[in-house]
Structure 1
Amino acid sequence: MFCLLVFMCFGDRVEDKKIKEIEQVERRMVVNHSRFNILNFWPSLSKIVLRKRWAQFLQLRKDQEEVILPLIRARREVKEQRLRNLNVEGNEHVVSYVDTLLDLQLPDEKRKLNELEILNLCNEFLNGGTDTTTTALQWIMTNLVKYPQIQEKLLLEIKEVVGEGEEVVKEDDLGRMPYLKAIVLEGLRRHPPARLVLPHAVTKDTVVGEFVVPKNGTVNFMVADMGWDSKVWDDPMAFKPERFLNGEREVSFDITGSREIKMMPFGAGRRICPGYGLAILHLEYFVANLILSFEWRAVDGDDIDLSEKQELTIVMKNPLCAHISRRDAGSRAQVHD
């Protein structure tokens, strides 16, 4: 997942060693997010009281710059070469996320983004697109191990679409797999990667129902509780993908909330996560291919534990341990997620 996001971000097939460096520095920032978050409050005081923590943060920030800025500068050079109509190695040119940032113009300030601003947005892109999606993927695969009948039903749908003997589910196949889509939606409802969305604020005093939200008052939404509301969902703590299928066995649920809001793992309205479509595509693609290629089974005598813990996202307290075997072979292997 991270390799895919790096390619989308920088438009080049980065060497494995370099990807590992990017992954390590980004992971360190994610893991220490809660420790560094306190530095936002009263910085002039925290720089004195929390000197060591500030030093750790600044060192990590320096490490990010050393790893990622060369990739941004290389992409800028490729762009400048193309503008000068010079020969660029390789015939294929992928428009990357960084390319769009290099072109971006700030209308109010009448300038383009500087390198550190682009770096910040790349960090947001890599972490936001990887951590939340991999967390959701882990929860979905855990439930497919916990409920093998759902896994078998999904496998039948996949084989009906791709045909016997096919080894890969292609992107074009996904649109013909409503049960797959229902499984992904149920995973996001039952196990949203975040309990809350990013906070918002109102620009003026606003009345919402019986409540008055004062100007600049912070507003947030209990995303997990919305998806577990027994007034809206039947047996909300159960994993039932069928709840998203209508009488024609099609998914008619609107994840954007434009018609109604029954859950909002990506937010809703104008401020909805801009990457929600990409996240669902990645989840459907990875789940489908993991199920087509492998049979996933619980370890004998091991009860699937759905306990949670808070990192940047809500992850499994005890990561999934499962037996997997290739669909075309009898060999079995135990793997830890």
Structure 2
Amino acid sequence: MDNFRYAMFCLLVLMCFGDKLDQKQIEEIERVERSAILNAVKFNILNFMPRLTKIVFRKRWSQFLQLLKDRQEVLIPLIRARKKASEERQSKLNDKKDDYVLSYVDTLFDLQLPDEKRNLTEKEMVSLCNEFLNAGTNTTSTALEWIMANMVKHSHIQEKLFREIKGVVREGQEEVKEEDLQKLPYLKAIILEGLRRHPPAHFVLPHAVTEDVVLDKYLVPKNANINFMVADMGWDPEVWEDPMAFKPERFMGSDNSSGEVFDITGSKEIKMMPFGVGRRICPGYGLAMLHLEYFVANLIWKFEWKAMDGDDVDLSEKLQFTMVMKNPLQALISPRFK
């Protein structure tokens, strides 16, 4: 899991800041971001009556403010360096050798708050970068671990996926490329089944209704906090046959009566919603699907995955910001090509 998380984090750092940072820089960013994640639950109470909690939980407030300061000290220099690089590029637009790649931070420099008619402050950019890095790292790496755990547990599924990739990727090709992913329907089915059976979050973020509404004879009062039981929806036996089994084929044409690609956005019907649905769906769901497909395809293409010492894979869960494996995956991996 540590390797999955670090790989995903390095990728998102590159996408966020647009530069290949050295290992020490990445470890510093990871340290402050990981600390924020692990302490999120502890700091939640500070949202409740801040004037009171600043007195009652003075030490906790101090820890929270120190965490914010640490994050700003790490991220602001990177934001400033990227802004300088962006300005220098603007002055050399005629340079034909320009290999500049637009990053997430680049999109924040010209962003304007319409009501206040101003640009973002550095501290606001830090908050958005923090959201970008944390939201994309922990959920996706958790989903990746669950999927790979099932690849180890169900060797026939792993072998079927390898055969599918072998039918698309040229012999001797080192990497499954992004354009290859569109030709791998069984891979997509495996990702969907992983998200159905093991959604990284068992609930979505809380929502509220703007007026009283009656839903299936139940009154949901205005401003009431509501949530959705994401995991239970994906395990509903009235919707899914043998819901606790890992069966990617249910998303293939043979089991899928419509024969169409499953609609993860829920625009037609909602059978599962690992990213939420509707206008409030996770804006990064497309990126998460791409990352999962790319990582799983290449991990299976390059390596054969087996259980340690023939032990069965334990699929017990525990909550750690996301719903992770209680006993993290350990596997024996062997290169397929030497």
TM-score computed with the length of structure 2 as normaliser: 0.93
Q: Secondary structure at the match of 2:168?
A: helix
SS at match of 2:182: helix
1:181 aligns with one of 175, 188, 210? 188
- The answer to whether 1:30 aligns with 2:37 is yes
Return the structure number with greater relative CO, CA threshold 8 A, min gap 6. Answer: 2
Are residue 77 (structure 1) and residue 84 (structure 2) matched?
yes
Q: Within 1, Cα distance between the matches of 2:51 and 2:115?
A: 29
**124-133 or 251-260, which moves further after superposition?**
251-260
TM superposition shift of 1:227 = 0.2
Report if the CA contact (8 A) 1:182-1:251 is conserved: no
Counterpart Cα distance in 1 of 2:94 and 2:173: 40
Once the two structures are TM-superposed, the CA of residue 81 in structure 1 deviates from its matched residue by: 2.8
- Any unmatched runs of 5+ in structure 1? 330-337
Q: What CA distance in whole angstroms lies between the structure 1 residues aligned with 2:196 and 2:60?
A: 36
Alignment of 1:43 with 2:33, yes or no, is: no
Rounded to whole Å, the distance in 2 between the matches of 1:160 and 1:87 is 44
Q: 2:288 aligns with which of 268, 279, 283?
A: 279
2:158 counterpart of 1:151? yes
Match of 2:333 among 324, 328, 333: 324
For 1:235, give the aligned amino acid: D
Partner of 2:317: 308
Aligned partners of 1:169 and 1:254: how far apart in 2? 24
Distance (whole Å) between structure 1 residues aligned to residue 68 and residue 94 of structure 2: 35
Task: Work out the CA distance in 1 between the residues paired with 2:69 and 2:33.
Answer: 12
Asked if structure 1 preserves the Cα contact closer than 8 Å seen for 2:181 and 2:294, the reply is: yes
RMSD: 1.7
Aligned residue identity for 2:240: W
Distance 2:93 2:269 in 1: 52
Any stretches of 5+ residues in structure 2 without a counterpart?
1-7
Residue number in structure 1 paired with 2:266: 257
Q: Give the counterpart letter for 2:17 in structure 1.
A: F
Give me the whole-angstrom Cα distance separating, in 2, the residues matched to 1:79 and 1:176.
Answer: 37
Aligned equivalent of 1:130: 137
Superposed CA offset, 1:137-183 (max 9, x none) = 00000000000000000000000010332221000000000000000
- Matching residue's letter, 1:155: F
- Match for 1:239 among 246, 249, 259? 246
SS in 2 for 1:324: strand
Q: CA shift at 1:232, angstroms?
A: 0.2
Runs of 4+ that moved beyond 6 A: none
Q: Which residue of structure 1 lines up, in the alignment, with residue 18 of structure 2?
A: 11
Task: Tell which deviates more after alignment, 209-218 or 223-232.
Answer: 209-218
1:52 deviates by 1.9
| Contact kept? 1:181, 1:251, Cα under 8 Å | no
Query: What is the distance in 2 between the residues matched to 1:183 and 1:258?
Result: 21
**TM-score of the aligned structures, taking structure 1 as reference length:** 0.93
> Deviation at 1:193?
0.4
Shift of 1:76: 1.8
The share of aligned pairs that are identical, in percent, is 68
Partner residue in 2 for 1:333: none
Paired residue total: 328
Query: AA paired with 2:233?
Result: M
1:43-99 deviation digits (Å, cap 9, x = unpaired): 2222222222222211111110110011111122223333444899x8311111111
Write the distance in 2 (CA, Å) between the matches of 1:83 and 1:169: 35
149-158 or 55-64, larger mean C-alpha shift: 55-64
* Residue 161 (structure 1) aligned to one of 158, 162, 168: 168
| CA distance in structure 1 between the aligned counterparts of 2:156 and 2:255, rounded to whole angstroms | 21
Corresponding residue for residue 211 of structure 1: 218
Which residue identity does 1:268 align to in structure 2?
A: V
**Partners of 1:301 and 1:173 in 2: how far apart?**
33
Aligned to 1:121: 128
